[in-house]
Structure 1
Amino acid sequence: MTPRSKAVIFWAVGVLAYVIAVFHRQSLGVSSIEAAARLGIGAAGLSTLAMLQLLVYAAMQVPVGVLVDRLGSKRMLVIGATIMACGELVFALADGLLPGVAGRALIGCGDAMTFISVIRLVNIHFSPRRNPVMVQLTGLIGQVGAIASTVPLIQSLHAYGWTPTFLGAAVLGVVSALLLLTVLRDSRPGLAGERPSLSAAWAEPGTRLGMWTHAATQCSAASFLLLWGYPFLVQGQGLSPSVAGVLLSTLTLCGMVCGPLLGYLAGRFPFHRSRMVFVIIGTTAGAWTVVLAWPGRAPLWLLVLLMVVLAANGPGSMIGFDYARTFNPAARIGAATGIVNGGGFVASMTLIAVIGIVLDLMGKTDLDAFRWALAAQYPIWALGAFQVLRYRGKARRLLLAAQSS
């Protein structure tokens, strides 16, 4: 077997593990109404479940980034898949807030180990020119897990109930761990060269440019898919659960189309990546403004347009990882990737929490309450765009100084 064939096989196994991780991550989104009834919680309780899952995910990003630089991708992927399977098992049996929180926290912990490990496989086995496209393909294929966590999961919940559905999700985690153990070959990284350095990765302006890129572009779609999109569409916009599920799937499918295009453009025009980021932030803010300002419930065509616009958020956030790769040596790619990924999920976690708090303060989940709650997105977009502009300038000045020296 040629080295190229091995690289593709190892990447494919890693991507499958990522697909299952995305399914675990987003399984709360369409089950949020059932979760509120089963666990006896309100909007703030639902926010707590999603927020703590993302809090654990975000908090684990930097230590996981350092560990994957030292231990390699295979070990981290196997550990992550096992932890997520345990989390789904706990969630399947949960009948109150505390066990529910424990299950989602375990899922967040295992999920944190997955994407960074797969990105390291891409960085090791594929050339810099192909890297942006392969990263986008990784994110694109991973969205199969998001699709599985919408309509199929809704149907399973209605047909089989809570416990059998999430026990099945736990089995998926076990299958993922066994496949990784059997197929993936990934030796421990050599430590003879430059040692992984968290402080050096953080000091690099390109790392923080990637972090703010990820935060500004990811938060809207992530909060929508992970928790609040389904209640907004069903309770706020008055859609049926099946139509809401189709809209969420539409968002994911459009993102899968957008990903390779953005990957190609980022690889072909690296000095225009920040312009792509600004376009994504601006169109997302514009689409939400029209939906939230629409008198009464938005027409279906407008909600479809919102899904299409939000679809660029996930692929746009991947540009942040390309910045991490561009401005950091191989020895600290994991640490830099962890910083970038952590920033995006801190922003998403913050938005999810604020939306839940506003809804609870309003004491209802109707359209007017959602309008006020979803307005929390605007300060995050504004701060993110400002920081992208700021660190773009710093990164470019350092790059020009290095080239002239």
Structure 2
Amino acid sequence: MWLMWGIGVLGYVLSITNRTSLSAVGVDASHRFDADASTLAMFAVLQLAVYGFMQIPVGLWLDRWGARPIMAVGMVLMAAGQVVIALSPTVGVAIAARMLLGAGDAAIFPGVLRLIATWFPAQRGSLMMQLTGIFGQLGQVVALVPLPLLLHATSWEVAFGALAGGAILFSVLIAVLVRNHPPELPADVSVDTDTGTITVVRSAVDTRQGIRAAWEQPGTRLAFWTHFTTPFAGSAFVMLWGIPFLTAGEGLSTGQAAAVTSVYVVAGIVLGPLVGMLSARHPHYRSRLLVLPAIGAQMLLWAIVLLWPSPAPTWLLVALLIALAVGGPASMVAFDFARAHNPAHRLSTATGVTNVGGFLAGLLAILFIGIALDVQGASRPDLYTDEAFRWAFATQLPLWLLGIAMILRERRRLRTPPR
């Protein structure tokens, strides 16, 4: 049981490392591929788009073949993507490689959740999912610190080749050691040890009537807009634009920038259980107590940073990263909304609809920042300025305002009984 989860969660750590592997080396990537800011943004945008698009097929494949083969293939795809990135001669090929990596990455987290559902008692599922999310964020630390150190000590080819090698190693470990379900069980089922209830584990999303029915439920729309609004600023920062902003814009060294950005991971680990506890204790006040304050904190800290005379003090940048980190745990409240307002047979569909919100906002934020840099003439690292970054990050404001307006709207509809 613990071996299955241990291999799965270490594989998830590696997938997070691969997913965010350009976050600390974005400037190096821009130089290597001679890419302007908008083109650099496309690395992350298309990667996220493929990741989101693959969630439904991955769910169907997990139902048919189980976690082991799907996770192993996902690791192979990530390895292939990193090999192409390591050797790519052109930016177009490199972007295609990131899309391949996104496809492989899409298989890992759902696969780990599948292993939890089939190997652990149903009563432990929520705790194990929280632990998986917490441990998985350590992959961002690997991407922020060891990866750039390895790249600058050796070469681009060696650094990304090492990531590919790690993915191949885990594809073998998963194929050899992981089993879809315990040997005493005939299929992928979840067992409630208190009641003896056995439930077939399903990951599929109903792509026909289910999506329409889920969207017609105000609780699903509230979940979508909650997940749309809370995490995108943190995603844009840690996936691509954070390190360039801190180094080229704020004048920090690469090591200092990595240390500041690591606060995002640590704060997320600390705040995640607290947000989960508050969500469980105050289910009727989640929007007012957790979601809207988290969004407000992000907007307030970004406003202070953008208005502060350059360069911003380190304590303020740390405060900004803590505010951004709150968005991750707050975004998980969205899935509580989806779960509470949809019947069990439609839960996977509602969860899938909810998940789209975060990825949509994240890729839009990354793209808007890149376009804004290009429009200001700060298209390359040697042209990046603090002022250009400040105007670029201000493009997040319309996304926040849209999200807040829709959250308030759907919350009001949810609380208004139908006539």
- TM-score when normalising by structure 2: 0.86
> Which digits, 9 at most, give the CA deviation of each residue in 1:232-256, with x for residues without a partner?
0011111111100111112111111
State the identity as a percent. Answer: 40
1:265-344 to 2 correspondences below 5 Å: 265-275=278-288, 276-328=290-342, 332-344=346-358
* 2:393 pairs with 1:374: yes
Give 1:228's aligned amino acid.
W
**Equivalent residue letter for 1:11:** W
The answer to whether structure 1 residue 68 and structure 2 residue 69 are counterparts is no
Residue 237 of structure 2 aligns with an amino acid whose one-letter code is F
More helix by proportion, 1 or 2? 1
Q: Could you give the per-residue CA deviations for residues 16-39 of structure 1, whole angstroms, max 9, x where no partner exists?
A: 221111000000111111111111
1:87 Cα deviation after fit: 0.6
**Is the 1:73–1:118 contact (alpha carbons within 8 Å) kept by the matching residues of 2?**
yes
Once the two structures are superposed, residues 130-159 of structure 1 have per-residue CA deviations (whole angstroms, 9 ceiling, x without a partner) of: 555443322211111000000111101111
> Structure 1 193/279 Cα, relative in aligned 2: closer, same or farther at 3 Å?
closer
Question: How many pairs does the alignment contain?
Answer: 394
Matched residue SS, 2:353 = helix
**SS of corresponding position for 1:95:** coil
1:225 aligns with 2:263: no
Whether 2:240 is the aligned partner of 1:240: answer no
Distance 1:42 1:299, change over 3 A: same
Alignment of 1:154 onto 2:148: yes
| Partner in structure 1 of residue 213 of structure 2 | 203
Mapped partners of 1:193, 1:234: distance in 2: 46
- Distance in 2 (alpha carbons) for counterparts of 1:311 and 1:152: 21
1:126 and 1:340, CA in 2 relative to 1: closer, same or farther beyond 3 A? farther
| Paired letter, 1:297 | P
- Per the alignment, residue 358 of structure 1 pairs with 372
Which position in structure 1 is the counterpart of 2:194? none
Contact 1:69–1:334 at 8 Å: present in 2 too? no
**2 CA distance for matches of 1:318 and 1:368?**
33
> Quick one: distance in 1 between partners of 2:62 and 2:346?
10
CA contact (8 A) 1:68 1:334 kept: no
Distance 1:291 1:71 in 2: 49
CA distance in 2, matches of 1:291, 1:269: 32
> Alpha carbons of 1:272 and 1:165: their partners in 2 closer, same or farther (altered >3 Å)?
same
Cα distance, 1:322 vs structure 2: 3.2
Q: Contact 1:57–1:342 at 8 Å: present in 2 too? A: no
1:386 corresponds to: 405
The equivalent of 2:228 in structure 1 is: 215
> Is contact 2:41–2:367 with CA below 8 Å preserved after alignment?
yes
Note the C-alpha offset of 1:124. Answer: 5.6
Inter-CA distance 377–84: structure 2 relative to 1 (3 Å threshold): same
Q: Which amino acid aligns with 1:86?
A: A
Corresponding letter in the other structure for 2:236: S
Match of residue 27, structure 2, among 27, 33, 36: 33
Cα separation, partners in 2 of 1:383 and 1:130, compared to 1, 3 Å:
farther
Q: Kindly state the Cα deviation for residue 167 of structure 1 after the two structures are TM-superposed.
A: 0.5
Task: In structure 1, give the amino acid aligned to 2:210.
Answer: A
Q: 1:272 to 1:16 in 2, by over 3 A?
A: farther
The answer (yes or no) to whether the contact 1:30–1:230 under 8 Å persists in 2 is: yes
Secondary structure of 1:376's aligned partner: helix
**In the alignment, is the contact (CA less than 8 A) between 2:44 and 2:239 conserved in 1?**
yes
Q: CA deviation at 1:51?
A: 1.2
User: Are residues 142 and 23 of structure 1, via their aligned partners in 2, closer, same or farther at CA, if it must alter by over 3 Å?
Assistant: same
Q: Is 2:11 aligned against 1:17?
A: yes
Which residues of structure 1 form unaligned runs of 5+? 1-5
The one-character-per-residue Cα deviations of 1:316-358 (angstroms, maximum 9, x if unpaired) are 2222233334444555544433322222111100110110001
Q: CA deviation at 1:115?
A: 2.1
Higher normalized contact order (CA 8 Å, seq sep 6+, divided by chain length): 1
Displacement of 1:53: 1.0
Q: What is the alpha-carbon distance in structure 2 between the residues aligned to residue 59 and residue 251 of structure 1?
A: 27
Deviation at 1:127, TM superposition (A): 7.1
Q: Distance in 2 between matches of 1:189 and 1:233?
A: 46
Which of 72, 79, 83 is equivalent to 1:78?
72
The match for 1:104 is 98
Instruction: State whether structure 2 residue 172 is matched by structure 1 residue 178.
Output: yes
Q: Structure 1: how far apart are the matches of 2:129 and 2:240?
A: 25
* Distance in 1 separating the partners of 2:408 and 2:120: 29
Q: Secondary structure at the match of 1:375?
A: helix
| Distance across 2 between alignment mates of 1:200 and 1:343 | 17
Other structure's SS at 1:186 match: coil
Residues 76 and 267 (structure 1 numbering): CA distance in 2 closer, same or farther, change over 3 Å?
farther
Any idea what SS the aligned residue of 1:278 has? helix
Distance in 2, matches of 1:81 and 1:200, equals 30
Q: Could you tell me the TM-score, scaled by structure 1's length?
A: 0.89
The one-letter code matched in structure 1 to 2:331 is S
Q: Is residue 62–residue 342 contact of structure 1 (8 Å, CA) maintained in 2?
A: no
CA contact (8 A) 1:66 1:335 kept: no
Q: Is the 8 A contact 2:231 2:324 kept in 1?
A: no
1:302 maps to a residue whose letter is L
- Once residues 263 and 206 of structure 2 are traced to their aligned partners in structure 1, the CA distance between those partners, rounded to angstroms, is 40
1:66 deviates by: 4.0
CA–CA separation in structure 1 for the residues paired with 2:279 and 2:211: 22
Deviation at 1:121, TM superposition (A): 4.1
Aligned partners of 1:69 and 1:322: how far apart in 2? 23
Return closer, same or farther for 1:121/1:210 CA change in 2, 3 Å cut-off. Answer: farther
| Structure 2 residue aligned with 1:3 | none
